[in-house]
Each structure stands twice: as C-alpha cells, then as structure tokens.
Amino acid sequence: MKEIDSIGLVTPQKLFFDCPLTLQNGSVLPHFELMIETYGCLNADKSNAVLICHALSGNHHVAGYHNRDDKHPGWWDNMVGPGKPVDTNRFFVVGLNNLGGCHGSTGPLSINPTTGQAYGAEFPIVTVKDWVKSQAMLADRLGIQKWAAIMGGSLGGMQALQWAIDQPKRLRHALIIASAPRLSTQNIAFNDVARQAILTDPDFCHGHYVQQKKIPRRGLRIARMMGHITYLAEDGLGKKFGRQMRQPNYQYDYNVEFEVESYLRYQGDKFAEMFDANSYLLMTKALDYFDPAKDFDGNLVAAVSTIQAKIFLASFSSDWRFSPRRSQELLDALVAANKPVQYIALNSVHGHDAFLMEDKDYQAAIRIYFNNIASELTL
C-alpha cells in the first residue's frame, strides 16, 4: 500500500433495498443490494456529491486501498482523492458496483429468493436505464436530491448520458469520457464473439456452473484476451512489446514465443479468476442495448433535448473502439439541441484504456472542470 497521494484505507458498504425493482425488460427483482464506497464528506446542503460509474469490468472500488497489504489501489485512484482532479477534500464521491455485477451488488452470484440457489443464468438482463433507476434509488437513500456531477468512461459514460436524459432535474454536470451514444456494429460484433467464447465453454453449464462447482475459465480467458486487444492502440502495444521474443529463436510450436502473447495470456488468466462469466455476459448486453435515440425514432437530437445538465465530453485520438467521431456525433446532437457542452479531443497512444491512464493534459482538463463545479457550489 502506498499512502502518498491516496485517500488511504476505505471500507465498502452494502446497502439493502427492500422494495421491488421493475427492469426495462419487465422482470422484477423483489429486492436488491448495491455495494458502494464513499470518499470525502457530504456538505450540509448535500450539493457536493459526485457519482462515479464504472465500465464493463469495473466495480465500486474507485480509489484508495482496502487493507495495508493491497498492492494496487482502486481503478481510478489517479483521478479521485485528496488534491486530485476529483478532489475528495471538496467533493463527496460515490462509487458503486452495478446490478448484475460480481463484486457485491445483486447479480448472478446472488441467491435467488425463489430457488434458494445462485441466480446464475436466471438473473435477468439489465440495461443502462435499469442502472440509472437503481442509482436514483441509491441517491434517495443517501439523501442526495441532485448530483453535482456524474462521471464515467466507456460504459460509465453511457450511464452519465442516460442519467442526464432520464433524470434531468437531478444532475448538474455529466462527464462522458471515451464513450458513445450507442455501440457501432463492429463493437456489437466484438461483444458477441466474446460471449460465444463463454457460452461454448464446456464448463459454462448453461450458466449454472456455480452449482456444478466449475468456472468457464477458457471462455472468460479468450473473451478477456480479445477484449483487451481492442482496448489498446497498435502504437502503444507496439511500443510496449514490438516483436520481442521470449527466446532468441523460433520454437516452431504453439506455446508462448512473443512477449505480447505472454502478456495477453496473463491478463486472461487473471481475469478468469476474478470476474463472473454471467456478469460478463450481462455487461456486454447492456452495452449492446444502449441507444437512447431508439425511444425517439432514432433522433439523437430529440433524445438529448430534455437534458438540463452541463455536459463535458472527452475522447482520445488512438481509441478505435470508441473513436473520437462517436464523441463528435454526441457533441453535434447536443449543439443542435442548444445544450451547454464542452469537448476536449486528446492525443494519446493508449487506445480506449487512455481514460484510465496518467495523462497530464487529460487530468488537467478534468481538474479545471471540477474546479469550476466547486466554484458553483460556493455561489
């Protein structure tokens, strides 16, 4: 654990909601739990609250450490903390694990009250709109009538946009980073290949592998390896690994020869031990289904017309999975709808993962934006 520039030790909280939640597909969860972490202090009028929404494989652990033996902090520790761009000396920051996740919130690993066993494949499909609905209930529980900001990258950015559309009176600022108003055809295709790797794993057991005491490691491993490639840029990957080999000469077999192969297999193996396969399937479907313009006959300008929040958009030059032109598409719709919006297009070699990386210009832009939000709170 490195205490320098960190919020330090944090403790997750599990909140129980003893009320039914009707999902977009008509299914009903009789009750549910959300795992959250909070950082900083809520001010007297509860106006300084910031919600951090996670991407596909993220969770509630945004910043800090869970114990002194942790080697790595939360997934956005370089962004959230005392004196950081999202300054916890000034803001009360909330991170949560979404419904359908596998890090404490109600999901496929949770007990189905009807059967007394893990939901597994019986856990209903959830959407970004469902997450916003549950997050609004979380805000009610915390006594937060209006978020100062909601912020996220990738799938997290989609949640921030859906919040601005669905709950316009409960949000002052939405920060939508490395995201898009809907997935491209290519992205949907990548997601389906990843799902097929999991669904066809012999240990998937039709989604009920927990009861069989199995894990579909092979499918998860392949899904993560393929996904990881799409999160990176060729320039960044090339600079890191090039054609560097493990041994001087070709071995003429199918074992690891190139360093990039070793890296991807390591990432795949690690992921297969820490993430639930059913949750992975659910998260990728939530990505596929996200399309706020669908309710407006495909008209994105009409979809964003109810937004009252100020919008901040950021994209990264080497991000080919959520390319800058997708942010530009959203920008054009917001401008056409006469909404206040700022957009920053950043140069980066890190691909889609750039939103998680240390980057001077990127972090400076976020810091300036949150400084402006803080100044609004003192008016």
Active site (catalytic) residues: 154, 319, 352
80 touches 7 (CB < 8 A): yes
Neighbours of 215 (CB within 10 A): 17
71 touches 175 (CB < 8 A): no
Q: How many CA atoms lie within 13 A of 341 on its CB side?
A: 24
Work out the burial of residue 264: count CB atoms within 10 Å of its CB; fewer than 13 is exposed, 13-18 middle, 19 or more buried: buried
Neighbours of 89 (CB within 10 A): 12
Phi and psi at residue 53, to the nearest 5°: -100, 135
DSSP per-residue string spanning 268-316: HHHHHHHS-HHHHHHHHHHHHH--GGGGGTT-HHHHTTT--SEEEEEEE
Separation of alpha carbons 53 and 135, rounded Å: 10
Neighbours of 312 (CB within 10 A): 24
Neighbours of 243 (CB within 10 A): 9
Separation of alpha carbons 321 and 367, rounded Å: 25
DSSP per-residue string spanning 59-101: -S--SSBSSTT-SS--TTTTTEETTSSEETTT-EEEEEEPTT-
Helix, coil or strand: residue 210: coil
